[in-house]
Amino acid sequence: MSIFLLWLQLAGATAVILASSNFLAKSADVIAFKTGLGRAFIGVVLLATATSLPELGTGISAIVLFDEPDLAAGDAFGSNLFNLLIIGLLDLFWRNGPILNSVGLTAAVVGALGIAVISLAAIAAVIHGLTPEMSTWHISPVSVVMLVVFLLAMYLIYRFEHSGGQESRVDEADIQDDPEEHEYGSASLYKAGLTYLIAASLIVTAAIWLASTGEKVTDEMGWEASFVGTQFLAFSTSLPELAASFAAIRINAPELAITGVLGSNLFNMGFILFMDDLALVDGPLWDHVSTIHPLTALVAVLMTSVVIFAVLNRGRSRPSKYWTPEALVLIGLYVAASVLVFVLAD
């Protein structure tokens, strides 16, 4: 197949992902309103899960269909960086002060838990790279620990948001005081749930198509799998987060956008990498990944720390309507990581 047709397929899969993602933010916001669970928790659970399905589909397909475990790992680690870049991009387009001033402390909790799981993933890659002791195991014990931490994180986020301790800076009482007058007052929870399921199904189907085409592009272009996974496929499979996040701020739901992005990183590390490890029958996933990935994990930890600091640092003003310091730092760290990955993967 010609390279032109391959790129055309990539464009088609991307278009399906983008179109489906536009429905996710609206349906998730309706569910948050109708169930009373709150935008932050719904952002972490529903929005993050749905927009991370491409990484899940791509990772398992890369392993099962194409025997490319490093491509799967690179996609997950690279998606973390792109997701954090999204926060910087959102900040550039948000005009009501720094966007991280507009979210509650739940976002900081999600970010801190994300750092914990990303660090565990980096430790797994380093440990398996230094010792062959666990190479005969079907799955790494560190992967199991990551899954447990992910599940615990979901529980802690729910308890924190509903304990009254999140001190949200977005007045969500506006959507609860007079439900009948709210724009979602007449919306159907059943319809919102059905829309969510249909959109999520389309996303995961397009993700499998994306993985297949991406593997062929890798061969045709002569790129290293680790570079493609970290940069190329990570960009493509993170498009749902990008589209859903911008859709969320268009409906004035920054809490949904930010927690959705940070929650995606939790999902990438705690659940997707566990499933990738489970799907690989030729030993633990970590025996087959590039040494580049701990580097991208370190940058992701630094970028998440920037987000947490900005959320906790109340009362900041926006120095310019075009940028904020945290936006520039996030974008700068992403660019620096991209250059390093390209150089080291070459």
Instruction: Give Cβ neighbours of residue 294 (< 8 Å, ≥ 6 apart).
Output: 122, 125, 126
- Which residue, chain included where needed, has tokens 């520039």? 328
Query: Residue 291 sits in a domain of what CATH number?
Result: 1.20.1420.30
What distance in Å separates the CA atoms of residue 264 and residue 267, rounded to the nearest whole number?
5
pLDDT at 29 over 60: yes
131-136: long-range pairs with CB below 8 Å, 24+: 132/287, 134/284, 134/287, 135/283, 135/284, 135/287, 136/283
pLDDT-derived band at 6, boundaries 50, 70, 90: confident
For CA atoms 23, 25, 30, 32, give the dihedral sign.
Answer: positive
Among 130, 153, 194, CA closest to 45: 153
Answer for the pair 44, 199: CB distance below 8 angstroms, yes or no.
no
Mean pLDDT on 74-81: 90
| Tens digits of residue pLDDT in 284-311 | 999 999 888 999 999 999 999 999 999 9
Query: Which helix (H) or strand (E) segment is 198 a member of?
Result: helix 189-221
Predicted confidence at residue 174, as pLDDT, reads 47
* Residue 51 belongs to domain spanning: 3-345
Neighbours of 136 (CB within 10 A): 9
What distance in Å separates the CA atoms of residue 289 and residue 286, rounded to the nearest whole number?
5
| Tens digits of residue pLDDT in 63-75 | 988 788 998 898 8
Phi-psi region of 212 (alpha: psi -120 to 50; beta: other; left: phi over 0): alpha
Rounded-to-5 percentages of helix, strand, coil across the chain: 75, 0, 25
What is the number of domains present in the chain? 1
Answer for the pair 327, 321: CB distance below 8 angstroms, yes or no.
no
| Tens digits of residue pLDDT in 128-143 | 888 877 777 889 999 9
Judged on CB neighbours under 10 Å (0-12, 13-18, 19+), 177 is exposed
Question: Of the ranges 200-214, 234-248, 254-268, 307-321, which one carries the lowest mean pLDDT score?
Answer: 200-214
Predicted confidence at residue 170, as pLDDT, reads 43
pLDDT-derived band at 346, boundaries 50, 70, 90: low
What distance in Å separates the CA atoms of residue 52 and residue 238, rounded to the nearest whole number?
7
- Copy the structure tokens of residue 293: 């990935």
pLDDT at 243 over 80: yes
Which DSSP category does 168 fall into? -
- State if pTM tops 0.85: yes
Answer for the pair 111, 326: CB distance below 8 angstroms, yes or no.
no
Predicted confidence at residue 171, as pLDDT, reads 45
Predicted confidence at residue 152, as pLDDT, reads 96
Answer for the pair 265, 273: CB distance below 8 angstroms, yes or no.
no
